[in-house]
Amino acid sequence: MEAVLRNLRSTAELLAVASLSCEVEQWDKQTLSRAFHWARYCEILFSRFHNNTAIRRTLEKHLQLTNQSLVATFPGYTEVTFSDLSRCQHMLLVGLLNNPELPISITKILFDTGGPINTKQSDYQDVTSFCSRIIQCKSACKVLSPLTGLSAVGADAEVRGLMLMERLEALLSQGGEARSTEHFLDSVLQGREGEAEHFCVVIAAALLTTKDSAAKTASQEFLLDWLQTKNRLLQHMCSALPITHIINLAKEHRKFKDAYYDVLKKWASDMEFSITEGEWVQTSTNQTAMSYCKLTEHFKALFSACPSLREHVENELNALKISDGDFDVSGLSVWGDLLSAINS
Amino acid sequence: MSQLQPQSQLQGSAEEPLLNIQQMQFWLDKAVAWGQAERPDSQKDTCLHLNRLRDFLQRLLTHINCMSSTTETMKTLPFLGQFLGRLCWNPYVTADATGRKLLFQCLWSLYSEHPGNAVERKANQWIQKLFSQLATEEEDVAAQAFMKHMNVPPHEYHLKVLRKMVAMLQENIGKSCSSSSSMNQRCSCDRIQATSEACVPLITCPEAAPLIGALLLQSMTCVRATLSEDFLDALSSAYLSQCLSLEEQAVVSLWYHNLPSLEETVLRLLECAQTNSQSTPQKLEQLLTQSLLPKACAQHCSIFLVVNDIFRSFLKQAEGNEPVKSLIQTFTCCFLRELALQQQQTRVSLKAWFPQSPQRLLVPLLTLPSEMPEDAWRRHLNWLSRSLQRLTEEEEEEEGDEDSSSSASIEGHHTVFEAWFLLVQCAHWLQVAVQLLVTPGPEDGGPLLWLLTFYHHPTNRGHHRAQQLVVEGSGLADEAASLLSSLELKLNGGSCSSGAANRVHLRIKALRNTLTHTQAASSPAENQAHTLTL
């Protein structure tokens, strides 16, 4: 443990030197390789111990002490948290490339696009061409992404969905508290207003990953339960995603189907008939935008995809229509109009 | 900065200008156009121009290196920074290994180790910032936040996304393929051409290899799956410079669709065989199997025919080229083996594979000695010798016949050549002939010797073949000598009865003496013919 703590301290110092000191002027290829080696070491430390509360706490404390002393030594030093260690190589790279004293020779090593291409899958073990490979990877994604336009979920959403499920599974399998897992989901899947659509796609992708184990099913159930407490997000999902996508989700998960149906009913109940427009419109502005036309599409799609639900929905809509006065004239009961639209 | 005259030329070498301002303007306009809204046209345009852009970047690099300082460079090419900067953000340029390399080298050349003025200092700062942004900036804000919350390093994330994209695209290839042989039916493979075009910058990207392989394979399956020419050309040059590895069937597909890549592979093999003329048959066989050429030929008749044509043209110019003849023989052997494996499903007649060879010689020559009882060998070889002699006599008659039309004699030449070429391909019989020649026995070695001579001298200058047995000073004698040595080695290690072994040893010794005498007695002058009686 002593050795680990020493190494941790050394790497934090290394990061400080890399980004803030002019010592980098003296760096050569060997120094560079060693630096990245230690950064990788810290990444491994993180993956090994981030779930081990006891060890994690020790490491965090030690890191805090290191930070304090480094702040004193290096003006402008940004503290390194334990979580940051998971991306230690990236931090090292950012520090180095933004250090004005970095010699061009080091840049050349990092961005070297050398001779015969290494035909093995990149394993990032060699510091030479580290950056060249990153750029190649990012550019390749951009080149390929227009071609994947035909798939319902983008590759990046799918990858994020998969990563999310893996993490969720790991958290749940540790027997951790449900609250902390919920907090995790809160932090990952919520953010600024404009990003809501983005989260929707990720959640959809996560829920559509194949259920090939009990653990996976449990994780998906957990996610669904969490989702049901986030009404705005759920509504956003149902309005932003393509209907076929939502129907796929509904077919896969009963909980989602029920939640989706509830959302549709909520939208319908908030609608009012507008004489001027000759159409049903939303009343409250405090919810996701939805047109009557689109709403009927949703109901129709749900109907045809889930025959088991059909009878129940029909009866319920009918009951609601009756409670509205049971008129067969359009414009008086949203339920009546919906029923006739569905059955047409 | 100074204003430039529109027609100013920038000298790279003493004679031709390396760059001119129009070219710079052309490429700058291109770079600007490509940077604007991502439209499929700009993507296509970039891929189409990739080769020429690389050439231009190379010339640019040379030009910059010729300049004494960055200040001077910037005076001659004021828009250089803008140009390079724009290209750095074009993924089609940066995904391609060569494009990326040249781009970075241009930037490094602009970096001043000891900046002498504000311009150079500013350039340095700009260059450093550019590299930093390229490697670490994350445009997708949502992705960045996700990575942070999930504790995933960016390079791992991007790699996973790329692999996922490749997997998704690979899966889609051939998914809704109607597999019909008709060009009129619609099929999901209509998209293959566009996909292959877009993959041009990704040919040297290792992660994209499964996708490229899938494209190549699909093009063999469905007639509607056509690959773009740019794609095939780029693939071919990358493969030949050993910049990428493809799985077997993908290589076969490449050869099938792209003649230059096949030709180049065969030429390289021939070169290899000539430079390593000492290599053993086993090494040759290994070389050929690794090249995948025999297998490819067994799968596609068209490939085999092309390969043989290349062999033919080689031999027409140099019929005495022994290493090449060995290669051809080993190649045919490997090919036949592969063909036998392939043909367990379908039987294709030999005529399809050897359309130009005299048909009645095909089966006799292609049959391996191992497929025949040993005591039948001599009879078989005698028959072969006689058949070939008849062919050559027919040709010589036509040649001598003054009334015959020139086309008949050309045809005669052609038949003899084809017969000889087939013999070269099936030279395993020659080895049997030599072996039989040194075995003691009462039989006449005449036909066998004729066969040997024909193999080494198909073009019969001086009509000596029929009358005498002609052995040139070095060629055949050397071969016979080396064969005798190897036979002797075999005998020493073998399990012959001592009596029989002794007799053969004596015979070999006698033969060797005769050969040495003949060689010693020969004058060093070229074209000296000697008779050898056995």
Tell me the C-alpha distance between B188 and B247, whole Å.
24
Q: Supply the pLDDT for residue B152.
A: 92
| Terminal alpha carbon distance of chain A | 72
Task: Say yes or no to pLDDT of A132 above 90.
Answer: yes
Assembly ipTM: 0.89
Task: Say yes or no to pLDDT of B154 above 90.
Answer: yes
In a domain, B424, yes or no: yes
Q: Supply the pLDDT for residue B105.
A: 95
Question: Which of 141-170 (A) contact B at CB < 8 A?
Answer: 141-148, 150-151, 155-156, 158-160, 163-164, 167
Tell me the C-alpha distance between B6 and B78, whole Å.
13
User: Do B347 and B381 lie in a common domain?
Assistant: no
User: Do B318 and B443 lie in a common domain?
Assistant: no
Task: Say yes or no to pLDDT of B462 above 50.
Answer: no
Partner-chain residue, chosen from A98, A102, A155, that has the shortest CB–CB distance to B161: A155
Task: Say yes or no to pLDDT of B279 above 80.
Answer: no
Q: Which residue has the tokens 């995948």?
A: B292
Residues A221-251: pLDDT tens digits? 999 999 999 888 898 889 888 888 899 899 8
User: Do B387 and B485 lie in a common domain?
Assistant: yes
Residues 6+ apart with CB under 8 A from B214: B169, B170, B173, B174
Give chain B's mean pLDDT.
80
Range of the domain at B278: 258-355
User: Do B426 and B381 lie in a common domain?
Assistant: yes
Task: Report which of residues B466 and B316 the model is more confident about.
Answer: B316
Greatest C-alpha distance within chain A: 86
Tell me the C-alpha distance between B153 and A88, whole Å.
8
Mean pLDDT calculated for residue range A260-275: 88
User: Which of B161, B204, B237 to mutate to test binding with chain A, by most A CBs within 10 Å of its CB?
Assistant: B161
Mean pLDDT calculated for residue range B181-186: 63
Q: Which residue has the tokens 């100013």?
A: B8
Task: Say yes or no to pLDDT of A107 above 90.
Answer: yes
Instruction: State which H helix or E strand residue B151 sits in.
Output: none
How far is C-alpha B102 from the geometric centre of its chain's CA atoms?
27
Mean pLDDT calculated for residue range B312-335: 88
Q: Is the pTM of the predicted complex or chain greater than 0.80?
A: no
Percentage of chain B beyond pLDDT 70 is: 76
User: Do B391 and B334 lie in a common domain?
Assistant: no
CA torsion A338→A342→A343→A344, rounded to 10°?
Answer: 100
Q: Supply the pLDDT for residue A45.
A: 92
Residues 6+ apart with CB under 8 A from B210: B166, B167, B170
Mean pLDDT calculated for residue range A111-139: 74
User: Do B384 and B491 lie in a common domain?
Assistant: yes
Question: Which of 194-223 (A) contact B at CB < 8 A?
Answer: 195, 198, 202
Residues B69-84: pLDDT tens digits? 899 888 888 899 999 9
Number of structural domains in chain B = 3
User: Do B391 and B307 lie in a common domain?
Assistant: no
Tell me the C-alpha distance between A156 and A130, whole Å.
22
Least confident window among A303-307, B9-13, B104-108, B518-522: B9-13
What would the two tokens of residue A246 be? 């939502």
Q: Supply the pLDDT for residue B178.
A: 66
Q: Supply the pLDDT for residue B476.
A: 58
User: Do B324 and B392 lie in a common domain?
Assistant: no
Residues of B in contact with A159 (CB under 8 A): 157, 160-161, 164
Tell me the C-alpha distance between A97 and B384, whole Å.
76
Q: Supply the pLDDT for residue A272.
A: 86
Beta carbons of B158 and A86 less than 8 Å apart: no
Q: Supply the pLDDT for residue A331.
A: 80
User: Do B429 and B310 lie in a common domain?
Assistant: no
Residues A144-164: pLDDT tens digits? 988 877 666 788 888 999 999
Task: Report which of residues B445 and B288 the model is more confident about.
Answer: B288
Q: Supply the pLDDT for residue A59.
A: 92
Task: Say yes or no to pLDDT of A254 above 70.
Answer: yes
Question: What amino acid is encoded at A169 in this protein?
Answer: E
Residues A282-297: pLDDT tens digits? 887 767 788 888 999 9
Q: Supply the pLDDT for residue B532.
A: 37
Final residue before a domain boundary, out of B136, B165, B185: B136
Tell me the C-alpha distance between B455 and A330, whole Å.
99
Confirm or reject CATH 2.60.120.10 for domain A260-344, answering yes or no: no
Tell me the C-alpha distance between A13 and A16, whole Å.
5
Percentage of chain A beyond pLDDT 70 is: 94
Q: Supply the pLDDT for residue B153.
A: 93
CB contacts < 8 A, A to B, total 176
Give B38's pLDDT tier (boundaries 50, 70, 90): low
Give chain A's mean pLDDT.
86
Question: What amino acid is encoded at A136 in this protein?
Answer: Q
Beta carbons of B145 and A160 less than 8 Å apart: no
Contact at 8 Å (CB) between B208 and B199?
A: yes
Tell me the C-alpha distance between A47 and B146, whole Å.
17
Q: Supply the pLDDT for residue B396.
A: 74
Give B475's pLDDT tier (boundaries 50, 70, 90): low
Tell me the C-alpha distance between A212 and A88, whole Å.
33
Question: What amino acid is encoded at B499 in this protein?
Answer: G
Q: Three-state DSSP class for B20?
A: strand
Distance from CA of A312 to the nearest CA of B (A): 37
Question: What amino acid is encoded at B19 in this protein?
Answer: L
φ, ψ of residue A141 to 5 degrees: the values are -60, -45
Tell me the C-alpha distance between A186 and A227, whole Å.
10
Mean pLDDT calculated for residue range B289-313: 92
Mean pLDDT calculated for residue range B138-149: 88
DSSP-derived letter for residue A23 is G
Task: Say yes or no to pLDDT of B158 above 90.
Answer: yes
Residues B379-419: pLDDT tens digits? 999 999 899 888 888 877 776 665 555 666 667 778 888 99
Task: Report which of residues A73 and A115 the model is more confident about.
Answer: A73
Question: Could you tell me which chain A residue has the CA closest to the CA of B139?
Answer: A138
Q: Supply the pLDDT for residue A199.
A: 87
Task: Say yes or no to pLDDT of A279 above 80.
Answer: yes
Task: Report which of residues A126 and A301 the model is more confident about.
Answer: A301
User: Do B342 and B420 lie in a common domain?
Assistant: no
Q: Supply the pLDDT for residue A10.
A: 92
Give B161's pLDDT tier (boundaries 50, 70, 90): very high
Residues A175-208: pLDDT tens digits? 767 888 888 888 888 877 677 778 888 999 999 8
Q: Which residue has the tokens 């013919």?
A: B529
> Any CB–CB contact under 8 A between A65 and chain B?
no
Q: Three-state DSSP class for A335?
A: helix
| Terminal alpha carbon distance of chain B | 91
Task: Report which of residues A306 and B380 the model is more confident about.
Answer: B380
What would the two tokens of residue B370 be? 């191992």
Q: Supply the pLDDT for residue B436.
A: 86
DSSP-derived letter for residue B525 is S
Radius of gyration of chain A (CA): 27
Q: Supply the pLDDT for residue B185.
A: 64
Q: Supply the pLDDT for residue B529.
A: 41
Instruction: State which H helix or E strand residue B116 sits in.
Output: none
Tell me the C-alpha distance between B208 and B415, whole Å.
49
Residues 6+ apart with CB under 8 A from A101: A21, A22, A24, A25
φ, ψ of residue A281 to 5 degrees: the values are -130, 160
Partner-chain residue, chosen from A86, A94, A144, that has the shortest CB–CB distance to B151: A86
Percentage of chain A beyond pLDDT 90 is: 38
Partner-chain residue, chosen from A50, A83, A97, that has the shortest CB–CB distance to B131: A97
Residues B224-278: pLDDT tens digits? 888 988 899 889 888 888 777 788 888 999 999 989 889 999 998 898 888 877 7
Tell me the C-alpha distance between A266 and B185, whole Å.
48
Residues of A in contact with B201 (CB under 8 A): 139, 143
User: Do B59 and B114 lie in a common domain?
Assistant: yes
Q: Supply the pLDDT for residue B511.
A: 65
Q: Supply the pLDDT for residue A226.
A: 92
Task: Say yes or no to pLDDT of B13 above 50.
Answer: no
Final residue before a domain boundary, out of B86, B119, B136: B136
Q: Supply the pLDDT for residue A341.
A: 84
